[in-house]
Structure 1
Amino acid sequence: MRTLSRVNLILLLLVALLGGSAWWLQSSDMPPPLTRLSPARIQQIRLIRAGQTIKLQRHNGVWWLGEARADQQRVAQLLGIATTPSLARFPLPQGRLTAFGLQPPETVLWLDQTELRFGTTEPLSGQRYLQIGDQVHLIGDGFRHHLSAPAEAFLE
């Protein structure tokens, strides 16, 4: 019985070691988030495109579009941009912003005081160019429909 217990203990330790190794390898391959912002702490969103500005404010944990209650789920999806993976990044190439659709940007999203400038998509991967400060990032383009939605789409 003791030998069987030892074998079981060794097998349990081996499984734990393998599981820990797999978790560590998987987590180290994850691309970094686009920003260090926490969606739960963001209090103000401004979405600017084609001369139109949509302003959303959080009051007591609830998002508002002016005096009307905003669609909380839609706003949460918009906030998800802050933590979407940055699949690639490189220094802002001065004089070549037009090639990335960043001069002028298609859309500008302000999350509190952080400005995200959305450009065009990279032709081969379909990933979107996005400028934050002096860096250009490539991100998945799954947010486009939120960024192009009319103001009414953000109402509850």
Structure 2
Amino acid sequence: MDLFERRQWRNGGLLLLVAVLVLLAWWEPGHEMASAVSPLLDVDPVHVRRIRVERPDQATLVFERRAEHWAMIAPESGPANPVLMRPILHLATLRCPLRYPAATLDQAALHLDPPRLAVRLDEVWIRFGDRAPAADLRYLQAGDVVYLCPEGVYALLRGAAAGFLAPALEMPAPLDRGER
């Protein structure tokens, strides 16, 4: 075997190794499961009519759907910011592949009992606990199951109540016809 053939074999082997590494990186544990994991709740966000967010040491937020728009009814009242309502409604469709029976966990240690905060979408509650130590995930409990879910909406729900109101549209002052 001459030098050229050895290099071809070595390059072919390296190419095969790269292909295997790419395949392993693409097929990580849980990657395939994520598409098969059912949503956090059996609730269609389109049909949710009322949202309640109970936050210890902060005012409880209450939102109501009025026609196609959301309104905050407590602690302040007015049209709710639709950009901020989307992630709250998205909680119902959140897919969290890591789940555990709630009875097998120390819920007090995870701050699920009492929760850090609780969200009620119509009649279904989601309780928020602590963050997982080594990941950007948070413990959420819905029914008898505790999930490890992306951190996303927790900081939003801890924000100031007034921030959930839609910004008022300000009309520009009319131009003075004498100025040009």
Give CA-to-partner distance per residue, 1:54-95, whole Å, 9 cap, x none.
000001111001241111121112111111112211111367
1:6 match: none
Please state whether the residue corresponding to 2:90 is helix, strand or coil: helix
Q: Which amino acid aligns with 1:68?
A: G
Residue segments in structure 1 that go unaligned for 5+ positions in a row: 1-25
Q: Which amino acid aligns with 2:65?
A: R
The structure with the largest alpha-carbon Rg is 2
Q: Normalization by structure 1: what TM-score?
A: 0.77
* Structure 1 runs, 4 residues or longer, greater than 4 Å off: 26-29
Tell which has more relative contact order, 1 or 2 (C-alpha 8 A, sep 6+).
Answer: 1
2:149 match: 139
Q: Which amino acid aligns with 1:33?
A: P
Give CA-to-partner distance per residue, 1:95-134, whole Å, 9 cap, x none.
7111211121000000000000000011122311011111
Residue segments in structure 2 that go unaligned for 5+ positions in a row: 1-30, 167-180
The 3 A distance-change label for structure 1 pair 70 and 104 is same
Please state whether the residue corresponding to 2:139 is helix, strand or coil: strand
Aligned length: 131
CA distance in 2, matches of 1:141, 1:46: 19
Q: Percent identity?
A: 29
Is 1:73 matched with 2:83? yes
Q: Normalization by structure 2: what TM-score?
A: 0.67
The 3 A distance-change label for structure 1 pair 74 and 120 is same
